[in-house]
Chain A
Amino acid sequence: QQQVKQSPQSLIVQKGGISIINCAYENTAFDYFPWYQQFPGKGPALLIAIRPDVSEKKEGRFTISFNKSAKQFSLHIMDSQPGDSATYFCAASGGRSNYQLIWGAGTKLIIKP
């Protein structure tokens, strides 16, 4: 029940296209859903995060869509650029006393010029 399942494992998108990465969770106590971006040789960095009181959050070309009833959330990258090529991790945490993030397995995204 603590798992976060992320798909696909890898993704190749043409420059200018839309990249979509999906995550599913089981624990209904989760109330914080961040996405992290990791470039080679670097640690992950927070990209965008959402809480379940909204169904969508947009920051520039990056959008999180959240479906509470389906227990799914996804990252959409509009107008994907070669500089977006990185590994993306979704995560979740929740419960009043649970500070630990549960991580998805990661998606390696390659944007072809």
Chain B
Amino acid sequence: KAGVTQTPRYLIKTRGQQVTLSCSPISGHRSVSWYQQTPGQGLQFLFEYFSETQRNKGNFPGRFSGRQFSNSRSEMNVSTLELGDSALYLCASSLGSTAGGPLHFGNGTRLTVT
């Protein structure tokens, strides 16, 4: 079974631009979560989608948005990029039908904002 695939792996953008990151979950997984990881800040939860609906949302500004398609693939968009948005963005998928199931992470997209 293929794992979680995130594209692109690396991205360099300029402050003020916008960016879209993509995540393909494991086949059959209906939940996709997004996390921001920065040195010293651990894993910061952005949002979670289940069956195309946002089920949970973290404490990030409205510049961060996401969506999920009918095939469970998900995209995350960050508009008006700031230097502080430089981070590793991780996507995780799970069956999502019950609480307390394992998350399967991709290897992330490394975003650098200059």
Our verdict on whether A and B bind, yes or no, reads: yes
What separation, in Å, do the CA atoms of A81 and B2 have in the docked complex? 29
Chain B contact residues, majority secondary structure: strand
B-chain residues with CB within 8 Å of residue A99 when the two chains form the complex: 31, 48, 50, 55-56, 96, 99
Q: In the assembly, what is the distance between CA of A41 and CA of B107, in Å?
A: 7
From A103, which residue of chain B is reached at the shortest CB distance?
A: B43
Q: Are A43 and B90 in contact (CB under 8 A)?
A: yes
A74 to chain B, nearest CB (A): 18
Task: Tell me if B92 is interfacial: C-beta within 8 Å of chain A.
Answer: yes
The interface on chain A, measured as residues whose beta carbon lies within 8 A of the other chain's beta carbons, has a size of 26
A43 to chain B, nearest CB (A): 3
Closest to B102 in A: A46
Which residue numbers of B lie inside 8 Å of A, CB to CB?
4, 31, 41-43, 45, 48, 50, 55-56, 90, 92, 96, 99-100, 102-108
A-B pairs, top 5 by smallest CB distance, nearest first, are A43-B105, A32-B100, A105-B42, A46-B102, A100-B56
Residues of A within 8 A of B (CB): 31-32, 34, 36, 41-46, 49, 51, 89, 93-101, 103-106
